[in-house]
Amino acid sequence: MRLHEHADLRVLHLDPDGPVIAAPSDGSQLVGDVLGHGADMVVVPVSRLDPEFFRLRSGLAGEILQKLVNYRIRVAVLGDITDHLQESDALRAFVGESNRGTQAWFVPDEAALAERLGPAVEAS
């Protein structure tokens, strides 16, 4: 994990090779990790999300994102989700709506995330 500051926002970036977030209880652990680092936002690589996260019918995305929102933690899902988007009109609509807001973003790469956040400063 690494912590960065973007303006007045503390952002925790999860490592791409950590444990997969596959259950609502993993969302609770994620909230604990973010709060433990004093972060306002978490960046979750696509590789850390179980494929069920992208099947909205499973409810996994909704449960995890709701936990984060309840604690006022913003989230960015980082990586290519093109294959998932091609399989689901509902997911495409959800991602589009999320990206218009400020709580949950789906960004393809670090450059897109940096553009949304602004200049980064390493946290001390």
Give the domain range for residue 106.
2-114
Confirm whether 123 is domain-assigned. Answer: no
* Within-domain flag for 51: yes
Cα 38 to the center of its chain, rounded Å: 16
* Residue 3, CA distances (Å) to 9, 72, 92 in order: 10, 17, 29
Put simply, whether the predicted model's pTM sits higher than 0.85 gets the answer yes
Q: Where are the alpha helices (DSSP H) in the chain?
A: 24-36, 60-70, 82-87, 89-100, 110-117
Q: How many domains does the chain have?
A: 1
Task: List beta partners, residue 10.
Answer: 5
Q: What is the pLDDT of residues 87-122, one digit of tens each?
A: 999 999 999 999 999 999 999 999 999 899 876 555
Rounded to whole angstroms, how far apart are CA atoms 30 and 41?
11
